[in-house]
């Protein structure tokens, strides 16, 4: 097996085993979903219903984020593995485990290029374990949420971006392009910020006027084409493209929202640094930083400066981007920013123990093995704790099955409280997955439920969901503070 394939496989296997053991309940327990998971599954249904999906996760500003990469991935996993699982949630969770393991393996593989070949096995293992150590703080049920999906691809991207300044560019370019494109497909913010950083670090390479017919560069162009295809199809063939909707929002609606001031933006930015940089972490990293600075070899110090440069540039653009965004600045939209200090911590340890020259090689390897063992102990402890069991909403099934038992010709659901949307999304998903052409009359929520789940204008609801306190007479069902009425 070639070294590249072996390192990628090994560093995929480590997180895959950890995730599978730590979150086994999420793979084995049937879950009825609501909230964002239900909305995302309704969006994924468009691949089956319309045979194509061109946009990404919905936004609170009634638009969609750029790309459908994660949705096509989930659809493929559903198609291949649904027969082995009790619910769609389980196959989506398997997809999240595999994707996150793959992102870690790419980060571990690319980080190895900073070191002599003899170090790449150990550095890859340490990178994988360190990534898992810091990532484990996200609750298991958030692995399907878009804010958490982008965390590990961003860590791998920010870890490897200085490689663009080195000599290994042809080998690593497709990996970095792939990570950048994944971030483009996630959020408008990550699309802009990661692409700016990518372009800045590509400038030295482009100045060399490289041959465009090298295999890695051709592969990079192919990836760009594949990931760009949904945008181009949407832009040129949709009546109203998502890109046009984003431009309309930026031009007409965004100015109506209040903007954060500089102080609020700085506080928001460095909130993510505080999460992973507590006093004990800072004290623990000092010996490794001293060990790095005392080394005679300049290469690791120079590399660390490149990482500080990329971190600084990204942070500046992150601050500017959010200064001109809208209030409130929601923490979950910047979860990926937690990985900036994590990246520096991991690399300081690795550079301090890298065997750039053979003096103290045994001692340095022993140190890295010891640290990897300590991280493994923490991760095993996390597996044993079995935190964050899956959240299921059985009352969604009760309401949906009650509706089905009425054998209506069509199902048109009305509701009265806007904040009931997470449960309406769950009901619509359950019914549509059962082959029922269910819809709701809330046309303004089409961005979340999809156009396919919105009733025609002349169709009135034949089922109404009330709050229990406002329940009329003769309800079909009262469950979990909700009351279901058949509207004659």
| Tokens linked to 456 | 């025609």
Question: Tens-digit pLDDT profile for the chain (488 aa)?
Answer: 577 788 888 889 999 999 999 898 888 888 889 888 999 999 999 999 888 999 888 888 878 888 899 999 999 999 999 889 888 999 999 999 999 999 999 999 999 888 888 888 888 899 999 999 988 888 888 889 899 999 999 999 999 998 888 766 678 889 999 999 999 998 888 999 999 999 998 888 777 776 677 888 889 899 999 999 998 998 888 888 888 888 888 887 777 888 889 999 999 998 888 877 777 777 778 887 787 777 777 777 888 888 899 999 999 999 999 998 888 888 888 899 999 888 888 888 888 776 666 666 777 788 888 888 989 898 998 888 866 778 888 899 999 999 999 888 889 999 888 889 999 999 999 999 998 889 999 888 888 889 989 998 888 888 899 888 888 888 888 888 899 988 77
Co-location of 262 and 241 in the same domain: yes
Q: What is the pLDDT of residue 417?
A: 87
pLDDT of residue 47: 93
Judgement on whether residues 298 and 402 belong to the same structural domain of the protein? no
Q: What is the rounded distance in angstroms from the CA atom of residue 23 to the CA atom of residue 10?
A: 20
| Domain stop point among 365, 385, 405 | 385
Closest CA to 306 of 202, 164, 110: 164
State whether 417 and 312 are in the same domain.
no
The closest alpha carbon to 131, from 162, 95, 96, 105, belongs to 105
Q: Are residues 97 and 241 in the same domain?
A: yes
Q: Among 361, 385, 409, where does a domain finish? A: 385
Residues 289 and 207 in one domain: yes
Q: Which residue has the tokens 């048109």?
A: 412
Q: Which residues pair with 411 in a beta bridge?
A: 438
CB atoms within 10 A of CB 318: 20
What pLDDT score does 422 carry?
92
Residues in the chain: 488
pLDDT of residue 59: 83
Beta bridge partners of 338: none
Q: How much is the pLDDT for 320?
A: 92
Report pLDDT for 479: 87
Do 314 and 428 belong to one domain? no
Residues 381 and 408 in one domain: no
Q: Which domain holds residue 50?
A: 3-385
Which one-letter DSSP state was computed for residue 418?
A: G
Per DSSP, helices labelled H in 325-405 are 339-353, 361-385, 394-405
Angle at 11 between CA 383 and CA 309, to 5 degrees: 105
**pLDDT (0 to 100) of residue 185:** 92
User: Is there a single domain that holds both residue 373 and residue 431?
Assistant: no
Q: 315 with 449, same domain? A: no
Nearest to 119 by CA among 134, 109, 129: 109
Instruction: Note whether 304 and 447 are same-domain residues.
Output: no
Q: Which residues pair with 464 in a beta bridge?
A: 414, 485
**Facing residues of 484 across strands?**
465, 477
Domains contained in the chain, number? 2
Of the three residues 385, 418, 437, the one that is the final residue of a domain is 385
14 and 82, same domain (yes or no) = yes
Q: Which token pair is 335? A: 């979860």
Residue-level pLDDT at 431: 93
Beta strands 438-440; 411-415: pairing state: parallel
Residues 347 and 222 in one domain: yes
pTM of the model: 0.91
The tokens for 397 are 């099934």
């Amino acid at each position: 097996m070639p070294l590249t394939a072996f390192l990628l496989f090994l560093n995929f296997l480590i997180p895959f085993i950890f995730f599978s053991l730590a979150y086994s309940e999420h793979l084995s327990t049937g879950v009825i979903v609501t909230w964002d998971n239900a909305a995302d599954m309704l969006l994924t249904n468009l691949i089956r219903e319309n045979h194509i999906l061109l946009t990404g996760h919905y936004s609170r500003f009634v638009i969609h984020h750029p790309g459908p990469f994660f949705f096509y991935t989930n659809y493929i996993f559903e198609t291949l593995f649904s027969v082995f699982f009790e619910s769609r949630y389980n196959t989506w969770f398997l997809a999240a485990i595999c994707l996150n393991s793959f992102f870690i393996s790419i980060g571990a593989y690319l980080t190895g290029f900073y070191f002599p070949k003899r170090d790449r096995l150990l550095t890859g293992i340490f990178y994988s374990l360190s990534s898992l150590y810091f990532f484990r703080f996200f609750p298991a049920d958030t692995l399907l949420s878009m804010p958490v999906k982008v965390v590990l691809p961003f860590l791998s991207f920010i870890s490897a971006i200085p490689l663009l300044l080195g000599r290994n560019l042809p080998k690593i370019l497709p990996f970095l392009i792939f990570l950048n494109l994944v971030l483009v497909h996630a959020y408008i913010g990550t699309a802009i910020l990661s692409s700016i950083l990518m372009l800045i670090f590509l400038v030295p390479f482009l100045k060399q006027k490289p041959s465009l017919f090298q295999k890695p560069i051709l592969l990079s162009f192919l990836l760009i084409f594949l990931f760009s295809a949904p945008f181009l199809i949407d832009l040129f063939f949709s009546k109203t493209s998502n890109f046009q909707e984003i431009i309309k929002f930026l031009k007409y609606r965004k100015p109506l929202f209040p903007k954060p001031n500089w102080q609020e933006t700085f506080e928001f930015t460095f909130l993510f640094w505080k999460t992973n940089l507590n006093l004990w972490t800072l004290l623990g990293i000092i010996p490794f930083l001293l060990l790095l600075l005392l080394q005679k070899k300049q290469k690791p110090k120079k590399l660390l400066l490149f990482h500080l440069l990329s971190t600084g540039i990204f942070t500046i653009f992150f601050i500017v981007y959010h200064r001109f965004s809208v209030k409130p600045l929601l923490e979950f939209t910047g979860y990926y920013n937690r990985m900036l200090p994590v990246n520096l911590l991991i690399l300081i340890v690795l550079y301090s123990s890298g065997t750039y020259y053979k003096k103290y090689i045994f001692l340095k390897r022993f140190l890295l093995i010891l640290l990897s063992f300590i991280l493994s102990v923490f991760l095993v402890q996390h597996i044993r704790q079995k935190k964050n069991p899956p959240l299921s909403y059985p009352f969604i099934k009760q309401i949906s099955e009650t509706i089905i038992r009425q054998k209506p010709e069509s199902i048109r659901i009305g509701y009265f409280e806007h904040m009931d949307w997470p449960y309406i999304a769950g009901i619509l998903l359950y019914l549509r997955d059962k082959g029922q052409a269910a819809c709701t009359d809330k046309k303004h929520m089409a961005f979340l439920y999809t156009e396919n789940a919105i009733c025609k204008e002349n169709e009135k609801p034949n089922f109404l969901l009330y709050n229990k306190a406002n329940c009329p007479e003769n309800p079909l069902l009262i469950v979990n503070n909700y009351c279901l009425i058949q509207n004659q």
